[in-house]
C-alpha cells in the first residue's frame, strides 16, 4: 500500500477515536525508526506521520489520495486489489474431497467455500494455482454400501434418486453391523474381490461413482467451482505397492510382529522420535490402509507437478493424521516443507454434529434449493448466503449454520453486502455517464463521509494481502461487511446525485465501491446479482 508494504508487514486501520488513517504496529523495531523510513518516502499522500506508543500513525492528504486511488480502481477494474507477490510460483490446493455414494451435506459447504476462496486469494496474489479434488471412491465404506445394495437395494429407488438411495443403504448397514459383526467380514471379503478385479463388482462400483460425480458436479456448478485434477482414491491404488516398498527400503517403515496364529506381518511407520503416534501402512493380511494411499498420492503429486506448496483443506480432526503423513514424507526424502494443512472447524446443525452414519444431515442440494427460495428465486443471493455464512467466522472455529444469520439484511451476510452493491449500481445507472478522472490534487473539500469510504477503498489491496498471508478468507468477509456499512452511511448522509460541488468525487466513490464489493465477493466465491 503506497510503498508501505516494503516497510511494514502489517498495516491496520485504527479504531474510532484514534486521530489517524493508518496504523503500523512496531513491536520488534523502534517506532521512530519506522516513522523515519515512512517520512523518507516523501509521499505527498501522507499528511502526517507520528509515533504513539508502539504504533506509527499516518494521516492522509485526501486531496492527493482521492484522484490516485479512484483512478487505480477505474483502471484495474476486476483486478483492483490484486498483486504479484506470488508471480512465478505455483501452488496445489486440494479441497472438497467428498465420498462417492453419499451426497454432499451442509458440512461440505464449508470445505468447498474455504477451498474455493483460498484458490481465488492465491490467484489474486499472483500465484498459479492447480486445483485438485480427491474423491473417496475406494475402501471399506464403499464396500459396505455395495454389500448393502446387494442385500436390500431397490433398482426403482436407485433410478429415481441414486445417491440418496445409496446413503439410506449406508445408514442401514452401519446400524445393522453394530448387532451383526459378520457384515463387516462380508464387506471385507467383497472389497478383496473388487481389488482383485471382479468384473461384476467393478461395474457396480463404476455406476455408483458415475452417479455420485454427476451429483457433485451439479453442486460445483452452483458454487462456480471447477478442478484441474479430479482423481479419486482408486486412481492411486496402483502406486501404493511402490510407495510401501520405498518406505521399507529407506528404513522409514518396518515389518511388525505377526499376529498370533497368523502368517502375514503388518508394515508400520514408527514416529516415536518425533512425538507422533506410529501408524500402519499395511495390515498383516496384505490390505493397504489410508496412510499408504496418502503417501502414494503425495509422492505422485510431487513427481508430476513443480509446486512450492501443496495445501490440504481438511477439517481440524485430521490434524494429527496429516502431521504423520507429512513427517513420513520428510523421512523418505521428500520436501516436507512443501506440505501444508489448512484446517477448519466443524459445522453443526441444531447443536449436533453432522453425520452420514446416523442420518443427521441436510443435503447441500436441498440447502441450496431452500436458500434460493428464501432469496425469492435469485440464485446469486441464495447460494451466496450459504457461502458467506461458512466464511464469515475464522476457519479455526466451529460454527452452527443459521438461516436467520445467513439471510439477514441487517448486516454480516451476503445479502446485506450484495444489496449495497445493487444500490451502488442503481445510483450509477440513474446518474448516467461518469465524469472525467478527478483533477490531481482534488480542488474541492473531501468531506468526512467521503474520506471514510475512500480510506476503506484504499485499504482493500492490503486486506487481500493479509487474507492470503494468513490463509484467512474471513478477513475479506469482515472487510466487506465493514465496507458495506460505511457505504450505507455514506449513501444515507451524502446527497450523491445532487448537482453541486463534489458530485464527480461522490459518483467516483460509488463506482469504486461497487467494484470493491464485486471483487471482494469474487474472492469469496460469491457472485453479485443485478437486482434484489
Domains of the chain: 1-60 (3.30.1360.70), 348-406 (no CATH)
Provide the β-strand partners of residue 349: 352
Cα–Cα separations (whole angstroms), residue 355 to 10, 44, 101, 138, 462: 40, 58, 14, 19, 39
CA-only gyration radius of the chain, Å: 27
Per-residue pLDDT of the chain (532 residues; tens, 9 = 90+): 677 877 877 888 888 888 898 899 998 889 999 999 999 999 999 999 999 999 999 999 999 999 999 999 999 999 999 999 999 999 999 999 999 998 998 889 999 999 999 999 999 999 999 999 999 999 889 999 999 999 999 999 999 999 999 999 999 999 999 889 899 999 999 998 998 889 999 999 999 999 999 999 999 999 999 999 999 999 999 999 999 999 999 999 999 887 655 567 899 999 999 999 999 999 888 878 899 999 999 999 999 999 999 999 999 999 999 999 999 999 999 999 999 999 999 988 766 666 555 555 778 999 999 999 999 999 999 999 999 999 999 999 999 888 888 999 899 999 999 999 999 999 999 998 777 889 989 999 999 999 999 999 999 999 999 999 999 999 999 999 999 999 999 999 999 998 889 999 999 999 999 999 999 999 999 999 999 8
Report residue 193 CA to chain centroid gap: 38
Per DSSP (E only), the strands in 385-447 are 399-400
* C-alpha–C-alpha distance, residues 458 and 149, integer Å: 58
Contacts (Cβ under 8 Å, ≥6 apart) of 152: 169, 172
Q: Cell numbers of 4, please?
A: 508501505
For 417, other C-beta atoms within 10 Å of its C-beta total 25
Contact 380, 526 (CB under 8 A): yes
Contacts (Cβ under 8 Å, ≥6 apart) of 6: none
Per DSSP (E only), the strands in 253-363 are 253-255, 267-269, 279-282, 309-313, 339-342, 347-349, 352-353
Contact 1, 11 (CB under 8 A): yes
Contacts (Cβ under 8 Å, ≥6 apart) of 325: 291, 294, 295, 298, 339
* C-alpha–C-alpha distance, residues 456 and 249, integer Å: 57
Report residue 492 CA to chain centroid gap: 34
Phi, psi of 281 (to 5 degrees): -95, -35
* C-alpha–C-alpha distance, residues 246 and 250, integer Å: 6
Report residue 263 CA to chain centroid gap: 46
Q: Cell numbers of 43, please?
A: 509521499
Start-to-end C-alpha separation, the chain? 34
DSSP H helices, 343-413, are 364-374, 379-391, 403-406
Q: Cell numbers of 87, please?
A: 508471480
Contacts (Cβ under 8 Å, ≥6 apart) of 74: 437, 508, 511, 512
* C-alpha–C-alpha distance, residues 506 and 516, integer Å: 15
Amino acid at each position: 500500500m503506497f510503498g508501505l508494504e516494503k516497510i511494514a508487514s502489517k498495516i491496520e486501520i485504527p479504531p474510532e477515536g484514534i486521530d489517524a488513517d493508518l496504523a503500523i504496529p512496531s513491536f520488534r523495531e523502534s517506532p521512530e525508526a519506522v516513522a523515519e523510513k515512512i517520512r523518507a518516502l516523501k509521499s505527498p499522500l501522507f499528511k502526517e506521520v507520528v509515533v504513539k506508543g508502539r504504533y506509527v500513525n499516518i494521516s492522509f492528504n485526501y486531496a492527493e489520495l482521492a484522484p490516485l486511488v479512484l483512478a487505480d480502481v477505474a483502471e484495474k477494474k476486476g483486478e483492483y486489489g490484486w498483486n504479484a507477490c506470488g508471480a512465478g510460483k505455483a501452488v496445489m490446493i486440494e479441497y472438497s474431497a467428498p465420498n462417492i455414494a453419499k451426497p454432499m451435506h451442509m458440512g461440505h459447504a464449508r470445505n468447498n467455500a474455504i477451498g474455493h476462496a483460498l484458490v481465488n486469494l492465491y490467484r489474486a496474489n499472483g500465484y498459479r494455482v492447480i486445483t485438485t479434488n480427491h474423491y473417496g471412491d475406494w475402501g471399506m465404506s464403499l464396500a459396505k454400501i455395495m454389500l448393502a445394495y446387494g442385500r436390500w437395494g431397490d433398482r426403482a429407488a436407485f433410478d429415481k434418486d441414486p445417491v440418496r438411495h445409496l446413503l439410506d443403504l449406508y445408514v442401514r448397514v452401519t446400524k445393522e453391523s453394530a448387532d451383526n459383526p459378520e457384515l463387516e467380514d462380508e464387506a471385507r471379503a467383497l472389497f478383496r474381490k473388487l481389488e482383485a478385479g471382479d468384473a461384476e463388482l467393478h461395474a457396480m462400483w463404476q455406476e455408483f461413482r458415475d452417479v455420485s460425480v454427476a451429483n457433485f458436479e451439479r453442486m460445483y456448478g452452483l458454487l462456480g467451482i471447477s478442478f484441474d485434477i479430479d482423481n479419486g482414491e482408486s486412481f492411486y491404488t496402483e502406486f501404493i505397492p511402490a510407495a510401501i516398498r520405498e518406505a521399507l527400503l529407506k528404513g522409514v517403515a518396518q515389518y511388525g510382529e505377526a499376529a498370533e496364529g497368523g502368517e502375514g506381518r503388518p508394515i508400520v511407520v514408527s514416529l516415536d522420535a518425533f512425538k507422533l503416534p506410529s501408524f500402519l501402512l499395511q495390515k498383516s493380511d496384505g490390505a493397504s490402509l489410508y496412510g499408504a494411499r496418502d503417501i502414494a498420492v503425495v509422492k505422485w503429486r510431487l513427481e508430476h507437478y513443480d509446486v512450492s506448496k501443496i495445501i490440504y483443506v481438511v477439517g481440524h480432526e485430521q490434524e494429527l493424521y496429516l502431521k504423520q503423513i507429512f513427517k513420513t514424507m520428510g523421512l523418505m526424502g521428500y520436501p516436507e516443507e512443501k506440505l501444508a494443512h489448512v484446517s477448519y472447524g466443524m459445522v453443526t446443525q441444531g447443536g449436533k454434529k453432522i453425520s452420514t452414519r446416523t442420518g443427521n444431515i441436510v443435503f447441500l442440494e436441498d440447502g441450496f434449493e431452500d436458500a434460493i427460495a428464501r432469496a425469492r428465486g435469485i440464485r446469486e443471493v441464495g447460494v451466496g448466503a450459504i457461502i458467506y455464512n461458512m466464511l464469515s467466522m475464522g476457519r479455526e472455529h466451529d460454527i452452527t449454520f443459521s438461516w436467520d444469520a445467513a439471510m439477514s439484511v441487517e448486516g454480516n451476510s451476503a445479502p446485506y453486502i450484495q444489496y449495497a452493491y445493487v444500490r451502488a449500481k442503481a445510483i450509477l445507472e440513474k446518474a448516467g455517464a461518469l465524469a472525467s478522472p478527478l483533477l490531481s490534487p482534488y480542488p474541492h473539500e473531501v468531506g468526512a463521509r467521503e474520506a471514510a469510504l475512500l480510506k476503506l477503498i484504499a485499504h482493500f489491496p492490503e486486506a487481500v494481502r493479509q487474507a492470503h498471508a494468513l490463509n484467512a478468507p474471513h478477513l475479506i468477509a469482515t472487510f466487506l461487511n465493514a465496507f458495506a456499512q460505511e457505504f450505507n452511511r455514506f449513501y444515507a448522509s451524502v446527497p450523491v446525485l445532487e448537482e453541486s460541488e463534489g458530485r464527480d468525487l461522490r459518483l467516483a466513490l460509488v463506482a469504486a465501491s461497487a467494484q470493491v464489493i464485486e471483487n471482494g465477493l469474487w474472492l469469496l466465491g460469491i457472485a453479485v446479482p443485478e437486482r434484489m
